[in-house]
Amino acid sequence: MIEIRGLTKSFQDLNVLNDINLTIEKGEVVALIGSSGAGKSTLLRSINLLEIPDKGTIRIGELEVDIVKRTKAETLELRKSTAMVFQQFHLFRQKTALENVMEGLITVKKVVKEEARKIALLQLEKVGLLDRIHHYPKQLSGGQQQRVAIARALAMQPQILLFDEPTSALDPELVDEVLETIRKTAEEGNTMLLVSHEMSFVRRVATRVLMLDKGSIVEDGTREEVFTNPKSERTKQFLANYYRDREPEFAI
Ligand SMILES: Nc1ncnc2c1ncn2[C@@H]1O[C@H](COP(=O)(O)OP(=O)(O)O)[C@@H](O)[C@H]1O
Ligand SMILES: [Mg+2]
């Protein structure tokens, strides 16, 4: 379980997250939606302390971290309990797919090399890349690179997986293979918080949907509740705008 209390973050005088309170149970697949600039990436980055919030507490399993009073050891522990998949993949360019997946296991989790290799191979098999393990990122398609990034995140066995628009940097024809990998990951019972603009995917895969607006959670419900009967005016507007210009078959 992950529990966030009173999370606040400003950049200079710009208030980006306002007192976020959020509990995610084990196995929940939570989609985070909202307009550009709403604070979605900042929230994800704050959960693993890539961005340091101004205040708040984050509890992941047994570990409870008060941001203001945190120790170095708690910061490391919190980072180890989470894994992030970014829009731009963020793979090490000079390492092969296999080495990319092994890296965090060896340096962060202190797993011995042979064991790291076994875990990495297992995860690369799961994302369908056993035939690409010795390829470097530049020899892989965007979709394959993102699947390596997903394998790398899964290999760390985090308590929560954080996905920040994992398909928005991909060519359209490569989106489906990555969504399919994420769907499988969700089905396996992983706890996930996913920022996505793919509403049809969110409707299919998320068990719960949050809408972030100007740094506040304005909607929190099951996918049925949020897509068929949103409570907040902002969510209604957001979904109406989203579907307005899209193919009729995607409409609510
Ligand atoms: N490092 C930063 N320095 C200053 N402002 C930032 C920084 N990161 C994000 N912001 C601002 O915070 C707001 C929220 O950004 P972000 O979390 O990226 O939103 P989203 O992911 O929902 O599009 C935006 O106004 C953005 O310009
Ligand atoms: Mg973002």
Rounded Cα gap, residues 214 and 40, in angstroms: 9
Q: Which residues surround ligand 2, an ion (CB under 5 A)?
A: 40-41
Residue nearest to atom 6 of ligand 1 (CA): 11
Ligand nearest to the CA of 43: 1
- The residue whose C-alpha atom lies closest to atom 13 belonging to ligand 1 is 37
Q: How confident is the model at residue 244 (pLDDT cuts 50, 70, 90)?
A: confident
Q: Are 137 and 148 in contact (CB under 8 A)?
A: yes
142-155 helix and 97-107 helix, angle to the nearest 10 degrees: 20
Q: How much distance in Å is there from the Cα of 13 to the middle of ligand 1?
A: 12
For residue 109, report the distance from its CA to the centre of ligand 1, in Å. Answer: 30
- Indicate if the pLDDT at residue 61 is higher than 80: yes
Tell whether the model's pLDDT for residue 189 goes beyond 70: yes
From atom 2 of ligand 1, which residue's Cα is the shortest distance away?
11
What is the rounded distance in angstroms from the CA atom of residue 181 to the CA atom of residue 214?
A: 31
* Distance, C-alpha 148 to centroid of its chain: 15
pLDDT, tens only, 67-126: 999 999 999 999 999 999 999 999 999 999 999 999 999 999 999 999 999 999 999 999
Tell whether the model's pLDDT for residue 247 goes beyond 70. no
Give me ligand 1 centre to Cα 14, in Å. 9
13-58 confidence digits (pLDDT tens) = 999 999 999 999 999 999 999 999 999 999 999 999 999 999 999 9
Distance 3 CA to ligand 2 centre (A): 21
Nearest protein CA to atom 1 of ligand 1, as residue = 11
Q: Which of 78, 51, 49 is nearest to 62 (CA)?
A: 78
- Buried b / exposed e over 102-137, threshold 16 CB at 10 Å, is bbbbbeeeebeeeebbebbbebbebbebeebbebbb
pTM (two decimals): 0.95
The kind and range of the H/E element at 16 are strand 14-24
**pLDDT at position 249 over 80:** no
Ligand 1: nearest atom to the Cα of 42: 17
Percent of the chain with pLDDT over 90: 96
Residue 250 confidence (pLDDT): 55
Residue owning the nearest CA to atom 24 of ligand 1: 37
Closest ligand 1 atom to residue 212 Cα is 22
Q: Which ligand is nearest to the CA of 12?
A: 1
Confidence band for 243, pLDDT divided at 50, 70 and 90: confident
The 3-class SS string of 33-74 reads ECCCCCCHHHHHHHHCCCCCCCEEEEEECCEEEECCCCCHHH
In our burial notation (b when 16+ CB lie closer than 10 A, e otherwise), range 22-35 reads bebeeebbbbbbbb
| Close Cβ partners of 142 (under 8 Å, ≥ 6 residues apart) | 89, 169, 170, 171, 174
| Ligand 1 binding pocket, CB closer than 6 Å | 11, 14, 16, 34, 36-42
Which residue, 138, 156, 160, is CA-closest to 44?
160
**Residue type at position 98:** L
**DSSP-assigned states of every residue in 65-121:** EETTT--HHHHHHHHHTEEEE-TT----TTS-HHHHHHHHHHHTS---HHHHHHHHH
* pLDDT above 80 for 252: no
Cα 205 to ligand 2 centroid, rounded to whole Å: 20
Helix, strand or coil, per DSSP, at residue 139:
helix
CA of 167 to the centre of ligand 2 (A): 12
* pLDDT score recorded for residue 41: 98
Q: Which atom of ligand 1 is nearest to the CA of 51?
A: 1
160-164 and 192-195 strand pairing: parallel
- Bridge partners (DSSP) of residue 160 are 82
